[in-house]
């Protein structure tokens, strides 16, 4: 079973970046209002994600590390309407199979916490300990037991850049959660967690950008959009700042990018892209989150409806604000 875990894990765990994404999504699913992420050396040596969420009951800690163990889904039909970020029950098992991991967790109604050490998928230590409410997961020496993967790791600088990007995306998608991100002992950013998207943007992205953002908001019975788009004069050379969340999930969607860019059309210089941070809430039945294991690509059942709604919202915001 350990071998199966290791093989599967190689596929699920792309690198430090994907470990962090999974751990933060678990913390969000656990209802945390406070999440601290710390990395060292691009995350390959050390990753820590601490949250103040619901924690895991003493008798469930080992189970959480078993493949296909998830507390988030009851029946297969649920897959179409999942609102939690995780639902496959694969992440913890996979991460623990290819690293030296430690979990410390305590639900608030339990007096003691549990600490578990797992090396390459083997539980090597279990202890009852005092702990704050919530969960801390530490992942050290990722891929220590898969030399082939270690060899093909990106530089820690490149990996840290990707990690900073995903943490900031997740923090922007949850302005109600206070995030702190520490890289090699430097605090990179802290967000207020006061549910104010503008202040959250300000705490993460540069001030010049924030000055050039226009608030955008609509609400119909099918869709709700809330966020900011940039003045057409404030553009970027790539799509990195087209930041879109659907039902709280950071996603990439060619359809949504196209709807946004088409709305800017003649207003944008050639090969330039707008900046936008859009929170889109949509009837979960209109989306299909199950298309790709890493879940950043999503598909819509009614593409034309989604395209028009987003296109029209951005168009009317630009018409109102840009002369």
Considering CB under 5 A, how many residues would be counted as binding Mg ion? Answer: 3
Rounded CA separation 77/320 (Å): 43
Is position 71 an interface residue for ligand ADP (rule: CB under 6 A)?
yes
How is 91-105 classified by DSSP, letter by letter? HHHHHHHTSEEEEEE
Among 15, 43, 86, 113, binds Mg ion (CB under 5 A): 86
Select from 21-29, 216-224, 289-297, 304-312 the region that touches ligand ADP (CB under 6 A): 21-29
Please check whether residue 69 is in contact with residue 93, taking contact to mean a CB–CB distance below 8 angstroms: yes
Judged by CB, which is closer to ligand ADP: 26, or 203? 26
Judged by CB, which is closer to Mg ion: 26, or 168? 26
Select from 22-30, 125-133, 204-212, 309-317 the region that touches ligand ADP (CB under 6 A): 22-30
Closest CB 225 distance from ligand ADP, rounded Å: 27
Please check whether residue 85 is in contact with residue 248, taking contact to mean a CB–CB distance below 8 angstroms: yes
Is position 89 an interface residue for ligand ADP (rule: CB under 6 A)?
yes
Considering CB under 6 A, how many residues would be counted as binding ligand ADP? Answer: 23
Rounded CA separation 147/289 (Å): 33
Is position 131 an interface residue for ligand ADP (rule: CB under 6 A)?
no
Rounded CA separation 2/30 (Å): 27
Tell me the two tokens of residue 7: 């093989």
Closest CB 164 distance from ligand ADP, rounded Å: 21
Q: What is the CA radius of gyration of the chain?
A: 20
Give SS3 for 159: helix
**Could you give the string, one character per residue 133-172, with x where binding to ligand ADP holds by CB under 6 A and - elsewhere?**
--x-------------------------------------
Please check whether residue 274 is in contact with residue 243, taking contact to mean a CB–CB distance below 8 angstroms: no
Among 9, 28, 49, 91, binds Mg ion (CB under 5 A): 91
Closest CB 26 distance from Mg ion, rounded Å: 4
Closest CB 121 distance from ligand ADP, rounded Å: 13
Select from 88-96, 143-151, 197-205, 263-271 the region that touches ligand ADP (CB under 6 A): 88-96
List beta partners, residue 101.
Answer: 118, 139
Judged by CB, which is closer to ligand ADP: 55, or 121? 55
Please check whether residue 293 is in contact with residue 238, taking contact to mean a CB–CB distance below 8 angstroms: no
Question: What backbone phi and psi angles, to 5 degrees, belong to 294?
Answer: -85, -10
Please check whether residue 105 is in contact with residue 113, taking contact to mean a CB–CB distance below 8 angstroms: yes
Residues at the contact surface with Mg ion, assessed by CB under 5 A:
26, 86, 91
């Amino acid at each position: 079973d350990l071998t199966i875990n290791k093989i599967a894990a190689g596929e699920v765990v792309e690198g430090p970046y994907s470990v962090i994404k999974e751990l933060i999504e678990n913390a969000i699913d656990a209802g945390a209002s406070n999440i601290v992420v710390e990395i060292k050396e691009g995350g390959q040596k050390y990753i820590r994600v601490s949250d103040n969420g619901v924690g895991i009951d003493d008798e469930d800690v080992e189970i959480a590390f078993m493949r296909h163990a998830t507390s988030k889904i009851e029946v297969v039909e649920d897959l179409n309407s999942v609102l939690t970020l995780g639902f496959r029950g694969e992440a913890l098992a996979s991460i623990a199979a290819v690293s030296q991991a430690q979990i410390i967790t305590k639900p608030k109604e339990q007096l003691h916490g549990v600490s578990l050490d797992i090396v390459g998928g083997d539980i090597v230590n279990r202890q009852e300990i005092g702990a704050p409410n919530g969960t801390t997961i530490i992942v050290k020496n990722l891929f220590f037991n898969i030399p082939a993967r270690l060899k093909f790791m990106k530089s820690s600088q490149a990996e840290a850049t990707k990690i900073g990007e995903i943490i900031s995306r997740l923090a922007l998608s949850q302005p109600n959660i206070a995030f702190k991100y520490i890289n090699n002992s430097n605090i990179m950013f802290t967000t207020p967690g006061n549910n104010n998207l503008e202040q959250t943007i300000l705490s993460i992205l540069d001030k010049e950008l924030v000055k050039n953002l226009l608030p955008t908001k609509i609400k119909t019975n099918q869709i709700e959009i809330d966020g900011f788009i940039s003045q057409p004069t404030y553009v970027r050379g790539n799509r990195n700042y087209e930041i879109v969340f659907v039902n709280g999930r950071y996603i990439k969607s060619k359809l949504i990018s196209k709807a946004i860019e088409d709305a800017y059309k003649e207003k944008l210089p050639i090969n330039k892209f707008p900046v936008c941070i859009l929170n889109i809430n949509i009837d979960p039945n209109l989306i299909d989150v199950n298309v790709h294991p890493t879940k950043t690509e999503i598909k819509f059942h009614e593409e034309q409806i989604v395209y028009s709604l987003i296109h029209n919202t951005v168009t009317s915001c630009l018409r109102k604000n840009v002369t």
